[in-house]
Structure 1
Amino acid sequence: MSLEEIQRLAWEGFRNRVREAVGSSPLFAEKVRQHCGMLPDCTRMVDPARLPVWTKDDLRQWYATAPVPPVPGAWVHATGGTSGMPCRFYVTRESYEWRMAVSDRGYRWAGAEEGVRSVYVWGAPAARLSPAVRFRRALINRIQNRWFYNAMVLDAERCEACVDLINRVRPAALVGYAGCLVTLADHVVSHPGCLTHRVRSIITAAEGIDGNQVARLSAALGGMVYQSYGSREFMLIGMECRAHGGYHLSSDNLLVEVVDEAGRPCVEQAGRILVTDLHNAATPFIRYETGDVGVMSAEPCPCGLPFPLLRRVDGRVQDLLTLPGGKQVSALLLPHVMKEHRWVNAYQLEVMEDDPSRWILNVMSDTDVTEAARIALVANMHRWVGETVAINLRRVDRLVRAPNGKTPVVVRERRIVERIK
């Protein structure tokens, strides 16, 4: 199938999704009507640029009023929000199957598809799982030939345990959060001889890394590095191929746009990334703003794959937090935990560079927060970072914004930011 054929099917899928959402979601229909002055004619192709952008605030408002479930068989997913804004949404079986298939296809380009022996340097579920669920997941992982290592907190001891797992399993591929893999690579470099097995390929997820970090990963752990771009709302959005010129977009599953401030398409220049899920009838993910900034390529990739190319994604580098004693924790821990606490609308962590034992966790909520809920959140955080960090949970009505206009999840130097509503 050619790029033109895939894009034609994507436009048809977009029109169908708009028609379904207008008919099933009064909130979405009203937002479209206010923006356009009328509802679109879905008997013909619909120009995405004429429709409004769907924001995380829109999604939260929709979820609060949506039928349960919106369509038969749909179930709830949650994202902790790497932008500091947790959200909940529904997923259908069709959408889930598409997500899994697209992810496996992208990982196949890196030699890490289902069945290939792989080690995942990943995060464990924030919520405690029942024995039955743990058994089921372990069985599926073995069938898929995948081993998982919880790397949310990494110190020398845990890095050594992860290296031991790699040496024992001898995987062909290594998959993990980018920051965690860089920490692991630095450990291997500083402990010569500890890693006796080198993988063929490395897939980084959740965060962006620069060329220097790519070289460090390849030199320390072995194999070619492939960067992926995804989100909890959609799973894999884009994946590098062997040409490493950007992310091939899964446009048979998702319609991805890069737009300017007015919502109009822009090519070869930085713009806001919007995503439409073409197969999830349960949630109106139509021109949904991910919070990321990217650059769409005007030229096809020389590799020959029939998918559009997102040249780069900006602003996806996450912080590493240092705990007392030198342990490091990925800031991805925050969305990982926050998605389990439904009363949190937005959050931001303040840390003091000269005192890693004190954190201030600012949260926003539009509901009355009980003391039990506050205690549960702090206890969940302590479960991951230990009791050596004093966490002061503070409810606020505004967060802080950096000079570039973004609201960072982690604030280190408050003198360079301004308070906003």
Structure 2
Amino acid sequence: MKFKISDYLYPVEIVKLFRFLKRSRDFSYERIVEHQNEKLKSLIQHAYKHVPYYRDLFNKHGIKPGDIRTKEDLPAIPVLTKEIIRERYDDLIADNSEQFSPYQNQTSGSTGSPLKFLQDKNVSIARFTFFWRIWKMAGYQPYMRWAQVDGMFLGSEENLWKYNRMLNSLQISAFFLDHQNCKRILDKLSELKPKIIRGYPTAIYTLAQFIDHTSYEINFSLKSIITYSENLLPEYRSIIEKSFDCAVFNVFTQWEGVCLISECELHQLHQHMEFSIMELLDDNNQAVGDKEEGEITATSFYNYSMPFIRYKTGDLATWSNSSCRCGMKHKVVGNISGRKRDVLFDTNGYLVPFPNFQLNSIISYEKVDGLLQTQIVQNSPDKLEVYIILKDSTIRNRVEQELAKLVKARLGDDMKIEFTLTDRIPKERNGKTQLVKNKLIE
């Protein structure tokens, strides 16, 4: 998650919210739910009074604002989807939005066309302050030197980084971060000696993989690495922690700013309940049980210029039925599976989620020795294009045979596979590396 200068322009509000978050960390679960219900009632009243879409929706379904008093009442309201936002954009804008200093934002568009929406100053304040709490859990202190590796574009491959003196940070572009440029970047990090590295899991994994394969020796000690914006695979975490000799803290959020999940000091995933109400829904928009996978659907407390109520994010997760010894009573998330679009069709026409591939080691590079990176592209129901980056081109035949066996075990023996050896897998427009691209459902 990147921040603009405007995110720092509300020091009084930021300090006030941070002090509240410091207190609320020790709230009982019941007290946190009380806070959520108070925020929800205020949001619902505002949405009905000032947002044409919600006024029409409530009237159509016979819902009065007073009917929604607690989070248990939310299922009475139909869900909000990306399609509805695109079709009813103007009707979703509050008629008093100007008093919230709105600005237009949009998703990165990594899985399709970008989604545009309005956000207001309260989103900026909340986003910065909640991330401040998250970074503090990971060991960050003000003015600590850090590095960031994500989708900023710095012009060309010659410009891999820039130093931000005001933030005391090295900003590294993920667009050209590949195995060819790893040494340059690691040399620069060794010169800077950051205490924290934040960024895309695939980008940081690429650096970690280079260290692991080449025995590169880093001469700085990290407090932690914070990953965000992509799904952190278990094998990624393992290599990153081994190579950089520090803990990894995973953070999940979205450009829409409706939900925030992060790891505490004990590396349990917590939903930050002061930020929003989060539901996990099945394909029929019914709540799933503990340990059942559902789509993250959330109601944000902070965007009054264009409220998102029961917004379906397209991301999948499970609830855990356990508590955490860290002291936070926020709900524990068992697992974040990633995007619903991260799926492939097998030869019988069934969708196979990408997380199943991770669990079955199709993208487990340690088990396919010499394989550095892959990308699977499906253009037809019975054929895949698989792009591979290898440590040594002489092992190509063995790697292709092993990968083909793993893929066919999950997608069917009749699946045709066309391999392409490359030295660079193209980045998406936001600098991310998409490991699976199913062009049949884009």
* Fold shared, TM-score > 0.5 on shorter chain: yes
Change beyond 3 A, Cα 1:43–1:291: closer
Residue 135 of structure 2 is matched in structure 1 by 107
Q: Distance in 1 between matches of 2:263 and 2:59?
A: 38
Q: Which amino acid aligns with 1:354?
A: T
Q: Distance in 2 between matches of 1:207 and 1:156?
A: 19
Q: Which amino acid aligns with 2:228?
A: A
Q: Does 1:38 align with 2:66?
A: no
- Alignment check: 8 A CA contact 2:389 2:421 kept: no
Residue 248 of structure 2 is matched in structure 1 by 225
- Alignment check: 8 A CA contact 1:83 1:291 kept: no
Q: Distance in 2 between matches of 1:171 and 1:308?
A: 32
Q: Which amino acid aligns with 1:38?
A: I
For residues 202-221 of structure 1, the aligned pairs below 5 Å read: 202-221=225-244
Q: Which amino acid aligns with 2:52?
A: P
Question: Which secondary structure does the structure 1 equivalent of 2:203 belong to?
Answer: helix
Residue 75 of structure 1 is matched in structure 2 by 103
Q: Distance in 2 between matches of 1:123 and 1:220?
A: 23
Q: Distance in 2 between matches of 1:258 and 1:325?
A: 35
Residue 76 of structure 2 is matched in structure 1 by 50
Q: Distance in 2 between matches of 1:295 and 1:64?
A: 34
Question: Which secondary structure does the structure 1 equivalent of 2:89 belong to?
Answer: helix
Q: Does 1:266 align with 2:291?
A: no
Q: Distance in 2 between matches of 1:287 and 1:147?
A: 37
Change beyond 3 A, Cα 1:62–1:219: same
Q: Does 1:98 align with 2:141?
A: no
Q: Does 1:86 align with 2:114?
A: yes
Q: Does 1:257 align with 2:323?
A: no
Find the partner of 2:307 among 254, 271, 284: 284
- Alignment check: 8 A CA contact 1:116 1:172 kept: yes
Question: Which secondary structure does the structure 2 equivalent of 1:231 belong to?
Answer: coil
Q: Which amino acid aligns with 1:78?
A: Q
For residues 1-400 of structure 1, the aligned pairs below 5 Å read: 1-34=27-60, 36-41=61-66, 44-45=69-70, 47-65=73-91, 66=93, 70-72=97-99, 73-125=101-153, 141-234=164-257, 237-245=260-268, 247-268=269-290, 269-316=292-339, 353-354=419-420
Q: How big is the alpha-carbon RMSD for the aligned residues of Structure 1 and Structure 2?
A: 3.8
- Alignment check: 8 A CA contact 1:177 1:205 kept: yes
Q: Distance in 1 between matches of 2:154 and 2:102?
A: 22
- Alignment check: 8 A CA contact 1:297 1:309 kept: yes
Q: TM-score, normalised by structure 1?
A: 0.70
Question: Which secondary structure does the structure 1 equivalent of 2:335 belong to?
Answer: strand
Deviation at 1:290, TM superposition (A): 0.7
Q: Distance in 2 between matches of 1:320 and 1:206?
A: 19
Q: Which amino acid aligns with 2:320?
A: S
- Alignment check: 8 A CA contact 1:270 1:294 kept: yes
Deviation at 1:106, TM superposition (A): 0.9
- Alignment check: 8 A CA contact 1:75 1:90 kept: yes
Which of structures 1 and 2 has the larger relative contact order (alpha carbons within 8 angstroms, sep 6+)? 1
Deviation at 1:325, TM superposition (A): 11
Give CA deviations for 1:93-138 in whole Å, capped at 9, x if unaligned: 122101100011011111135432211111215999xxxxxxxxx8
- Alignment check: 8 A CA contact 1:121 1:150 kept: yes
The answer for unaligned runs of 5 or more in structure 2 is 1-26, 157-161, 343-353, 355-372, 377-385, 391-416
Deviation at 1:9, TM superposition (A): 0.8
Question: Which secondary structure does the structure 2 equivalent of 1:23 belong to?
Answer: helix
Q: Distance in 2 between matches of 1:12 and 1:127?
A: 47
Change beyond 3 A, Cα 1:20–1:244: same
Change beyond 3 A, Cα 1:299–1:71: farther
Q: Distance in 2 between matches of 1:126 and 1:289?
A: 33
Give CA deviations for 1:34-91 in whole Å, capped at 9, x if unaligned: 4x33344258446111111111111222324547983331111111244424211112
Give CA deviations for 1:184-232 in whole Å, capped at 9, x if unaligned: 1111122223422231211111122333321111111120111111111
307-316 or 164-173, which moves further after superposition? 307-316
Q: Distance in 2 between matches of 1:384 and 1:312?
A: 25
Q: Distance in 2 between matches of 1:314 and 1:194?
A: 33
Residue 372 of structure 1 is matched in structure 2 by none
Question: Which secondary structure does the structure 2 equivalent of 1:41 belong to?
Answer: helix
Give CA deviations for 1:300-330 in whole Å, capped at 9, x if unaligned: 2121113221221112579965999969xxx
Change beyond 3 A, Cα 1:191–1:354: closer
Q: Distance in 2 between matches of 1:243 and 1:50?
A: 36
Change beyond 3 A, Cα 1:307–1:186: same
Q: Distance in 2 between matches of 1:238 and 1:75?
A: 24
Change beyond 3 A, Cα 1:352–1:310: same
Q: Which amino acid aligns with 2:270?
A: H
- Alignment check: 8 A CA contact 1:200 1:222 kept: no
- Alignment check: 8 A CA contact 1:257 1:274 kept: yes
- Alignment check: 8 A CA contact 1:83 1:409 kept: no
- Alignment check: 8 A CA contact 1:16 1:42 kept: no
Question: Which secondary structure does the structure 2 equivalent of 1:120 belong to?
Answer: strand
Question: Which secondary structure does the structure 1 equivalent of 2:184 belong to?
Answer: helix
The answer for unaligned runs of 5 or more in structure 1 is 129-137, 328-350, 361-379, 386-407
Give CA deviations for 1:249-300 in whole Å, capped at 9, x if unaligned: 1211221111233433333121111111101101121111110111122332
Question: Which secondary structure does the structure 1 equivalent of 2:260 belong to?
Answer: strand
Aligned positions, number: 341
